[in-house]
Amino acid sequence: MSLLRTKSIEQSIADTDEPEYQLKKSLSALDLTVFGVGVVIGAGIFTLTGRAAHNVAGPSIVLSFVVAAICCALAAMCYAEFASTVPVSGSAYTFSYASLGEIFAWIIGWDLILEMFLGASVVAQGWSAYLGVFLEKIGIVLPASVSYGGVVDVPALVLVVVLGALVTLGIKESLRVNLVLVGLKLFIVLFVIIAGIGFINPANYSPFIPPAQASEAATGWTQPLLQALTGAAPSAFGVGGIFAGAALVFFAYIGFDVVATTAEETKNPQRDLPIGIIASLAICTVLYCAVAFVVTGMVRFDQLDPKAALANAFAYHGQAWMATLISAGAVAGLTTVVLTLMIGATRLIFAMSRDALLPMGLAKVHPTYRTPWLITIIVTVAVALVAALTPVGVLEEMVNIGTLSAFVLVSIGVIVLRRSRPDLPRAFRVPLVPWLPIASAAICVYLMLNLSVETWLRFLVWLVIGFAIYFLYSRSRSRLATGVPLSADIREAMERGVVHPDDLR
């Protein structure tokens, strides 16, 4: 079936050597680890921990982070195996194209566009909110109409435009800025942890797992799909609260998959990509658990402020100045998240355009910077407009469902590729195949079912639009459909004088 035609891994790797579509290889394992930490750790470390502890888990939120990390580790191992086997831009899209077929590759690429575009826009709005808080604390107040929640969110728009220019200049230049900001973010997080230890009261950890109790159920379009299907009443705390907390804080880990989008720009992808993916996840887990341990020790869980737990925990102990420091950390932290999501989006669309599922003209790289500059401009404009004009709080869950659907297909893809291409060299191998990938897919499906009914409906609308584009445009124009190899494009470019024969050596 043409819908299930796959692009061979050999062809995918060969395409990366074509001069007209070749990205600059400059990233190391350290760059990738910093990249991963930069996109995973955002404002959630300052806010999500307190909300989950206050509402569903109590001090056992530490265990929730461990459970969520184990779930993410299963998906991370699947990503690491694929990334070391198919070191090509596009992440889950490219992996699905090689294992499951074109229609699944299109679906996952379309879903990831949703994740990264909306993710960057939503986080840019969060950055604007924290910038406003930080500026107020140093005596600067922005006009309400052009700041967070106003008619036009100008700070968010400016941030996206500046980062778009940086992404155009080059991946290495972008990651140098990312390195500085991640360093600042980690310094503030570690400082907060160390400073908070002195205010811990051991009595606040008792009971470590609070007794289970019923919680208020959502209704209508806002209720989780699982609740709508089963009628199950939600509960909080107890052992069930640990898993409910894991489902909530799982989304604090989302982003490590973006590391795989930089495969073509990595010097030694077979070795460095698995290191970058798994190391960034491990570092983030340690930091999340440390913050959760400190904040629930500083203030009893039922007295935590679910909106700004860490800042108010220090205010509770008379250290209000820490709120300013935490706001500064959040501003730095969210800058790196927006930057890495924009890089991920450009590399994903680059891969889809090179395969002609989207117009191939978009995939041309800049002759000097060796970056996909046309795609970067499009991504920058789209993200800036959504961040500046979309009402706050409308699209967050759409990011989660797009990501989780990618995790499911990557996990299944590992099993399929092991059976269809057992001969491929794999620098990293997921243990206990097929059981661990099956567990990864099952957990992600469960988490998707915990998202609201309205999120699922929006997701289905997005998929319908994607299918329409695929069947009306992409299916007949893809390079697998036309049978035109990329080398033909290079020959045409040589005839037009765009590419010189020396460039092919």
Q: Identify the CA nearest to 255 among candidates 343, 165, 186, 328.
A: 343
The pLDDT value recorded for residue 503 is: 40
Q: Provide the β-strand partners of residue 214.
A: 235
Per-residue pLDDT of the chain (505 residues; tens, 9 = 90+): 567 788 777 777 777 666 666 677 778 888 888 888 887 887 667 767 888 898 888 999 999 999 889 888 898 899 888 888 887 777 778 888 888 889 989 998 998 888 888 888 888 988 888 888 788 878 888 888 888 878 899 999 999 999 999 888 877 777 788 788 888 888 888 888 898 999 999 999 999 999 888 776 667 777 878 878 887 766 778 888 888 888 778 877 877 777 877 777 788 888 888 898 889 999 999 999 999 999 999 999 988 877 667 777 888 888 878 878 887 878 888 888 888 889 888 988 988 998 889 988 888 887 777 778 899 999 999 999 999 988 766 666 677 788 888 889 889 989 988 998 888 888 889 999 999 999 999 988 988 888 888 889 988 999 999 999 999 999 988 888 887 665 555 445 534 544 443 443 3
Which pLDDT belongs to residue 498?
47
Residue 259 near residue 35, CB atoms below 8 Å = yes
CB atoms within 10 A of CB 466: 18
**Could you tell me if residue 372 is inside a domain?**
yes
pLDDT reported for residue 173: 75
- Is the residue at 246 inside a domain? yes
Q: DSSP letters of 393-426?
A: TSSHHHHHHHHHHHHHHHHHHHHHHHHH-TTS--
For residue 436, tell me if it sits in a domain.
no
CB–CB of 224/451 below 8 Å? yes
Q: For residue 318, is it within any domain?
A: yes
According to the model, what pLDDT value does residue 204 have? 93
Could you tell me if residue 127 is inside a domain?
yes
Peptide bond into 391 cis (omega under 30): no
Q: Give CA–CA dist 232/420, Å, rounded.
A: 40
- Candidates 466, 448, 504; CA nearest to 71 is 448
Whether the upstream peptide bond of residue 425 has omega within 30° of 0, thus cis, is: no
Is residue 440 a part of any domain in this protein?
Answer: no
Per the CB < 8 A criterion, the answer to whether 124 and 380 are in contact is no
The answer as to whether 431 is a domain residue is: no
Helix 321-354 to helix 102-137 angle, to the nearest 10 degrees?
160
Q: What is the tally of structural domains in the chain?
A: 1
DSSP characters for 288-349?
HHHHHHHHHHHS-GGGS-SSSHHHHHHHHTT-THHHHHHHHHHHHHHHHHHHHHHHHHHHHH
Q: Which two tokens stand for residue 41?
A: 């750790």
Is residue 338 a contact partner of residue 116, using CB atoms and an 8 Å limit?
Answer: no
Residue 66: CB atoms within 10 Å: 17
Contacts of 30 (CB under 8 A, 6+ apart): none
CATH number at residue 315: 1.20.1740.10
- State residue 214 phi and psi, 5-degree precision: -70, 150
Domain that holds residue 30: 2-215+222-402+447-499
Q: How far is residue 272's CA from residue 76's CA, in Å, rounded to a whole number?
A: 14
**Is residue 427 a part of any domain in this protein?**
no
pLDDT for 485 equals 60
Give dist(CA 100, CA 316) in Å, integer: 53
Task: Count CA atoms within 13 Å of residue 179 on its CB side.
Answer: 13
